[in-house]
Structure 1
Amino acid sequence: MLMAELDRRRRTNILALYRPYAKQREFHAAGAAVRERLFMAGNQLGKTLAGAAEAAMHLTGRYPDWWRGRRFDRAVVMLAGSESYELTRDGVQRLLVGPPLNEEDWGTGFIPKSAIQATTRRSGASGALDSVTVRHVTGGASTLLFKAYEQGRGKWQANTVDYVWFDEEPPEDVYFEGITRTNATRGAVAVTFTPLKGLSSVVARYLMEKSPDREVITMTIEDAEHYTAAERQRIIDSYPAHEREARTMGVPALGSGRIFPVAEETIRVDPFEIPKHWVQIGGLDFGWDHPFAAIACAWDRDADVFYVTKTYREREATPIIHAAALKPWGAWLPFAWPHDGLQHDKGSGEQLAAQYRGQGLALTAERATFDDGTNGLEAGLSDMLQRMQTGRWKVFSTCAHWFEEFRLYHRKDGRVVKERDDLLSASRYALMMKRFARVKADAAAWKFTDRKVV
């Protein structure tokens, strides 16, 4: 009897057992800073699970100790839906309430059974609910309304709400209607989906329209901790080639617009100790509202293979903070930097590159250029692509943020979209200036005369 009761309590309060992966935590935490969030991930990696867990927390007010996301201190009104009522029932409703066709098990979803006060049914779809009334910890009652995209935007217009959860990609008009419903309350919108529709208008809004109130988090099969390496490979191999990146990496199909149309596995390598005779160089991309980025690279001159070995990316921090993070890489490491490092700070009047030199970083004497003094973007991208295609560009598998940018780097109307490219830009600067790469200072067995490497 005791074991049965413990099992019942566990099954009817699974919210208390939710332990997110790192990428799910990142998605949750972003809600504290932005109104619009997109959790773009591969199939069966936990994006909808994370969406459901967070929705249940807002409805009940039951936030765990580790929670760093947004908190509502009162009962809320929430809209949640998917493409059709059947899909809403089988996905969103099932995860929040429990098995749709077995009413006895309602309360085994993320909304604890003790918090479900009332439900109303929807006609026309067996087992589908229209609404759920949820007890909030403050004593109030939250309202959860289930919707479907197939209804069109008109059916999403009736309510002013605190939170909207779109599970699977909504049509643009439905998405904007969801945002509108939250304007009066300064509420939030969360979207969880696998980007099988390519660079749609909703995906483009997150990837190409910069806003301090919008964030996209991507999750790949490598981030799903419940799969073994063998299981991951089996899943990857099971998908057709043209859907593989979307279904396993959460990468929208960019088609001919992708700048680096190269299979990720051909450039990814496991980390290893850099041989003492290899030369190394870093690259910087300055930023404030868009992130400041830095990379460390190693060049095997014998095989002419260029490796990205370390990455750093942080927004809205000062040169003191960035330099403190980079100095452990080695005071000897030269850093290539772009032309905007010649600009002067509006407050101090000091040149931006000089500020980083003053913090102890070994910036190269000149801004990043090719040997002939040019610095064309297309020439740099072409050099990187040719190296990737010929096996002469490799990236350590630990550089997760670098791969995030790599997957989404694309053109629109023939022009490079300069968004989410901070680490890639830093990599390009380092490659352009590889002639200034140096052997690690403490490689005592390799005492070379300093020279430019062509």
Structure 2
Amino acid sequence: MIKKIRFEPLPYQKKVLQSKKRIILFIGGTGTGKTWLGARWIVIKALQNAGEYLLISPSLKLMKRTLWKEVKKVLKEWEIPFEKNEQDMILTLFNGSRLYGIPADNPDRMEGVHASGAVFDEAGQVDKKVVFETAFRRLRFKNGQLLITTTPYRWNWLKELYDEALKGHEDIDLITARTAENRHYPREEIEKARREMPEWRFRMFYEGVFTKPYGLVYPEYEVVEPFEIPKNWLKIRGLDFGYNHPTAVIWLAKSPEGIWYAYRELKKSELTLDDLFRILKEENIPTYADPEMKQGLETLRKWGLDIRPAKKDVLAGISFVQGLFKQKRLKIFSSLKKTIDELNTYSWKLDANDQPLDEVVKENDDLMDALRYALFTAEGKPSFVYKTLTIDI
């Protein structure tokens, strides 16, 4: 079957279609046609080279509503014969190419597939780097390309990839686009969003720029290159118990000048108490843990660990850690990727006017809790948090 396909991509979309790099990172604002482009890119690849291809979305619900729907639309518009299996989410083209729908919460579905290409739509919504790593691994055998299309929703593994691209990584082609570059997008809607949204949010969602969210708990922190911790320095740990959600441990050392260094981290789900004990017993240093997990505390103490209940005054503890950062008395080893990821997203809840409330967002905060437990309990002093008193007269 020989068929000419005609469509009119915008200039930045044309760059994506022409790229030969292993990873194409397309970061675009709202309405830049990311899903539209991803669907056409993957169909063209499947038509040019028969093989297996991956369609990845953050969730099954979003997959069915966007990428899966758009790919089927393209196939029909271009009159490409295909068969569909909606239950298993497989599209089989006339030339034998197979396209698999992969929700990001089930990356194991990619295993066993030697893919010739993959598109990862709205990847910035997925915090688990393992989805990207699995997809890229499944492409290695066939030397396939990975197209990532997204808005920069938050700082996570995608920001790391973005930074690597800015440094000139030879395998990554970074292509960006502002909403205004799509001549079809209503200009009045862009200006309305500019007026109504906080600047940081507008720049992320309409200009495709990574900006730190307004309301970060720790907006400024210092990262240093790792070094060997001297044996005579004071060492402590913070522990946030978990199982389904991650267990988090952070190791800290204090220099003679009074500067704390976070030098090691652990963040892992489905870690048993036995597993945790084997890790912690390697270095039996004072460990400050969530006081509400009394059974875990007692068990680890019976097994010989120096483990103590932490102070759990959240606002006072945060205030203390903020002070350490501001005074340059707390620094983070650059090797602590998961800690840095949490620092870049750990935020106060916002009200309807995007003003911070005295309550943190309980999401991706396990190491932040562990950090607070250790430092505030070991060194912090009790403080008062004043509440608003309302009196009716």
**Residue in 1 that maps onto 2:335:** 398
- Work out the CA distance in 2 between the residues paired with 1:245 and 1:312: 33
**Residue in 1 that maps onto 2:296:** 352
**Residue in 1 that maps onto 2:241:** 286
SS of aligned partner of 1:97: helix
Residue 410 of structure 1 deviates from its aligned partner by: 1.4
**Residue in 2 that maps onto 1:222:** 160
Aligned alpha-carbon RMSD (Å): 5.0
Give the 3 Å change call, closer, same or farther, for CA 169–318 of structure 1 in structure 2: closer
**Residue in 1 that maps onto 2:360:** 416
Residue 278 of structure 1 deviates from its aligned partner by: 1.9
Name the amino acid aligned to 1:90: L
Do residues 92 (structure 1) and 51 (structure 2) align?
no
Per-residue CA shift, 1:79-107, capped at 9, x if unaligned? xxx957x65453332144239xxxxx733
- Work out the CA distance in 2 between the residues paired with 1:122 and 1:245: 31
**Residue in 2 that maps onto 1:254:** 213
**Residue in 2 that maps onto 1:158:** none
Residue 407 of structure 1 deviates from its aligned partner by: 1.6
Give the 3 Å change call, closer, same or farther, for CA 287–134 of structure 1 in structure 2: same
Give the 3 Å change call, closer, same or farther, for CA 90–296 of structure 1 in structure 2: same
- Work out the CA distance in 2 between the residues paired with 1:356 and 1:251: 42
Per-residue CA shift, 1:291-326, capped at 9, x if unaligned? 111110011241x32111111122233210111122
Do residues 299 (structure 1) and 265 (structure 2) align?
no
Which structure 1 residue ranges, 4+ long, deviate > 6 Å from structure 2? 238-241, 249-252
SS of aligned partner of 2:243: coil
Give the TM-score taking structure 2 as reference length: 0.53
- Work out the CA distance in 2 between the residues paired with 1:416 and 1:307: 24
Residue 221 of structure 1 deviates from its aligned partner by: 4.6
Tell whether the 8 Å contact from 2:34 to 2:121 is kept in structure 1 after alignment. no
SS of aligned partner of 2:335: coil
**Residue in 2 that maps onto 1:432:** 376
Q: After superposition, where does 1:127-142 map in structure 2 within 5 Å?
A: 129=78, 133=82, 142=91
Give the 3 Å change call, closer, same or farther, for CA 111–426 of structure 1 in structure 2: closer
Per-residue CA shift, 1:242-298, capped at 9, x if unaligned? 589969x9967532x321222xxx511111011233211011111222211111001
Q: After superposition, where does 1:141-220 map in structure 2 within 5 Å?
A: 142-143=91-92, 167-168=121-122, 194-196=150-152, 218-220=156-158
Name the amino acid aligned to 2:250: I
Name the amino acid aligned to 2:318: L
SS of aligned partner of 2:344: helix
Q: Identify which of 362, 377, 386 aligns with 2:314.
A: 377
**Residue in 2 that maps onto 1:209:** none
**Residue in 2 that maps onto 1:7:** none
Q: Which consecutive unaligned segments of at least 5 residues does structure 2 have? A: 1-20, 55-70, 94-99, 104-118, 125-146, 179-198, 352-356, 381-393
Q: Percent identity?
A: 25
Name the amino acid aligned to 2:297: A
Tell whether the 8 Å contact from 1:286 to 1:340 is kept in structure 2 after alignment. no
**Residue in 2 that maps onto 1:336:** 288
- Work out the CA distance in 2 between the residues paired with 1:404 and 1:335: 23
Per-residue CA shift, 1:139-164, capped at 9, x if unaligned? x98358xxxxxxxxxxxxxxxx9667
Tell whether the 8 Å contact from 2:248 to 2:370 is kept in structure 1 after alignment. yes
- Work out the CA distance in 1 between the residues paired with 2:345 and 2:287: 25
- Work out the CA distance in 1 between the residues paired with 2:77 and 2:45: 11
Name the amino acid aligned to 1:395: I
Do residues 270 (structure 1) and 225 (structure 2) align?
yes
Name the amino acid aligned to 2:320: D
Name the amino acid aligned to 2:216: R
SS of aligned partner of 2:292: helix
Give the 3 Å change call, closer, same or farther, for CA 334–141 of structure 1 in structure 2: closer
Matched residue pairs, number?
A: 266
**Residue in 1 that maps onto 2:279:** 325
Tell whether the 8 Å contact from 2:159 to 2:210 is kept in structure 1 after alignment. no
Q: Identify which of 86, 90, 107 aligns with 2:49.
A: 107
